[in-house]
Structure 1
């Protein structure tokens, strides 16, 4: 299983990604891909592109 944090409210450690109140996770298992998103906008898409996640 792989877990990627696409969005959270802390961008101090990585200034190249966007942040906002809320969270967004991308979870990948052997046969499933899941987006768990509780953000306010679509910035999870922009961060996912930077991480090479489709």
Structure 2
């Protein structure tokens, strides 16, 4: 899911691709942000790009 979001998809676009609800995406995205220590999608994308 983090890869889908890091690829600059909106929550709504991610729901369509992953067959999940918007609430589910928001919940898991918040958990991912906390776990990785990032505050927004830009930081998530940068972290993903840096890690390869």
Q: Give the TM-score of the pair, scaled to structure 1.
A: 0.34
Q: Which has the higher contact order (CA 8 A, sep 6+)?
A: 2
Q: Give the TM-score of the pair, scaled to structure 2.
A: 0.35
